[in-house]
Amino acid sequence: MKKFLLAVILLSSAWAVWSNYTAVEESLPEPVPESPTVTRLNLDEDVVVTPQPTPAVSGGQAEVAEASAGSPARVGILALDKWHRSTAASWDSTAVSPAVSDALSDFFSMRTNGAGTYSALLRESLPGVLGADFDSFANVWSTGGTVALSKALDDAAHLTPAWMAWCDALVFQLYADRDFLGAGNWLGRGIRQMLEAGYGRARIWEFRDMANELRDCASDCLPFEDYIVQSGDSLDAICRRFAKQGMALSYGWINSFNGKPIFNTNLRLEQKLKLPAQALHLEAWRGERLLLLYAGDDYLVGAYQASFGTEGNATPLGEFTLGDFLREPVFWQQGGDPVPFGNPDNPLGTRWMGFSENTDYGIHGNTDADETIGSFESLGCIRMHNSEVEELFELLPRGGKVIVRN
């Protein structure tokens, strides 16, 4: 009997201990699931970031909002991308956190307070909120200057938002340092990449004045050949002579390169000229209705707005050669009589530059349609303001190249 009572007591004690342990275990908080170690962002290039651990306990609406937006690195990268795509007038600094807004404001201060101040700030501490790529470029620039930054941008494996922003900053700094060759080449490369990444035309248009200024600086940095005007010379004769030697020149480009008005035709005996060694070519961006004028591969010397073909009459993509150059062109309509220059039914305006590969297409002016330039309203040609097509008519060489991109 005693043994039976002892067994009952022991079982009762064991049950009490087990019940107490189970109650304590059930009262513990649920374990917080571990965050994934890598998140990939859907930007122009994938950017890998390591998110912060999810907090075990929410501390209010602010933390909930931040958690739903993503990691601080993701938020900063997206903010940098949106900021750099925005025009100066359209950016809303209140849409981002104070830390991100301050970091972007400090970055832009390179243009207002001077590069030295921002470089000193970076040597004290990197922003830390705009992504690892941004901080990497910032560190390179603050310690090595424009030479080191140029190399870092050249060597970059991906064209991230940080690459775009620092390319822009590099252009500004090179121009401030009067390194016009570097500024022109990086501006040309940067704008091409911005357009390929889907930047809007208003944002690209903000660079137009700098492109025009770089044209004025071209003879200070681009290669040229010295030439002394001989008896019987004209600018057209010089262009034809050097075309036989493989130099694609136009007299407007010679004038511009020598600091003369583009339409100037006057020469004097034994006048010294610089003949630019790099021909001009045009890149036409159909989606944003923009034309970019380049010297050589990358040096940007001009930007223009233009109209392109309507739906169903899209301007063809590809590389074309400029063949016919016509002043006051006649419009040869299919199945109809030719329409002379000056007739309101002639849509070609004051100039025509035709594509050799497809003579139905070309670049021309307009007749009473200035307000439509910059839209999709032509039958497939590239239509411009008359004053600007007249300028391009003198600048582009016969046999010059036009690349129509999407």
Active site residues: 364, 381
Residue 136's identity, in one-letter code, is S
Here the tokens at position 289 are: 């209705």
Give 383's strand partners.
307, 364
Burial class (CB in 10 A: 0-12, 13-18, 19+), 299: buried
Question: Rounded to the nearest 5 degrees, what angle is found at the Cα of 245, between the Cα atoms of 215 and 318?
Answer: 60
Question: How many other β-carbons are positioned within 10 Å of the β-carbon of residue 270?
Answer: 9
What value, to the nearest 5°, has the Cα angle with vertex 217 and ends 168 and 258?
A: 155
CB 280 within 8 A of CB 395: yes
Please give the full DSSP string across 206-261, using - where no structure is assigned.
TTHHHHHHHHHTGGGTS-EEEEE--TT--HHHHHHHHHTTT----HHHHHHHTTS-
Is 191:292 a contact under the CB 8 Å cutoff?
yes
Question: Given the structure tokens 């016009």, which residue do they identify?
Answer: 180
Which structure tokens are listed for 187?
A: 């501006």
